Structure 1
């Protein structure tokens, strides 16, 4: 049986993974049939790069994803597109949709704040101390605000 699973790469205590198509009986770091992507859980947010065309091909050939790879494919929407492929939609339309979704994806990710929100908060932080200092300058001497 052919599996789509993660292959560990990277330094000690700094793992990153490659998404590989491999025979189920092979060891974790054995020779893969094909490398179809990468996954780095140490970045904020996690970095996932999977070639959707190759993933759809191998899934259509009967390759079984591991639990971790299945989670990654669900996040990208690949498994939902695979079901639609099985129901008869053309692969070209599905790949065009995947490419459009990749382009339309927001910068950052689920763990980062939008740049506009961060900028607005920094502007407010700069203005607040200045307003407080101006109020104390206008007050007559001996009185506190």
Structure 2
């Protein structure tokens, strides 16, 4: 089964997460099939805190992938921000 989840990067006290599609059996920061976005919880100034490729998320979900609870929340929030702007 494929799961779309967060893979942690960054340094100590400065987390950065890649949103990845990965097999459920692979460890959190291990191999992944595709990077579909990123999340920067400590974005400051003009930095972009979240980027999601909605078309790729939809592709993986249509092929049976599950979203982790955190990624589901982030995608929902990102879609809500995009909808009023469009």
Using the size of structure 1 for normalisation, the TM-score is 0.52
Measure how far apart 1:33 and its partner are.
Answer: 0.4
Measure how far apart 1:43 and its partner are.
Answer: 1.9
Matched, 1:104 2:85: yes
Whole-Å Cα distance in 1 between the matches of residues 9 and 15 of structure 2?
A: 6
Describe the shift of the 1:37–1:61 C-alpha distance in structure 2 as closer, same or farther (beyond 3 A): same
In our comparison, the structure showing a higher alpha carbon Rg is 1
Measure how far apart 1:49 and its partner are.
Answer: 0.1
Q: 3-state SS of the aligned residue for 2:11?
A: coil
Whole-Å Cα distance in 1 between the matches of residues 51 and 63 of structure 2?
A: 21
Measure how far apart 1:77 and its partner are.
Answer: 2.5
Using the size of structure 2 for normalisation, the TM-score is 0.86
Match of 2:69 among 67, 70, 74: 67
- The root-mean-square deviation of aligned C-alpha atoms, in Å, is 2.3
Whole-Å Cα distance in 2 between the matches of residues 44 and 60 of structure 1?
A: 34
1:13 counterpart residue number: 13
Q: What are the ranges of 5 or more consecutive residues in structure 2 without an aligned counterpart?
A: none
Choose between structure 1 and 2: higher helix proportion: 1
Moved over 6 A (4+): none
1:76 counterpart residue number: 78
Higher relative contact order (CA 8 A, sep 6+): 2
Choose between structure 1 and 2: higher strand proportion: 2
Whole-Å Cα distance in 2 between the matches of residues 9 and 103 of structure 1?
A: 31
Whole-Å Cα distance in 1 between the matches of residues 3 and 73 of structure 2?
A: 14
Whole-Å Cα distance in 2 between the matches of residues 44 and 64 of structure 1?
A: 30
Whole-Å Cα distance in 2 between the matches of residues 25 and 62 of structure 1?
A: 15
What is the number of equivalent residue pairs in this alignment?
A: 83
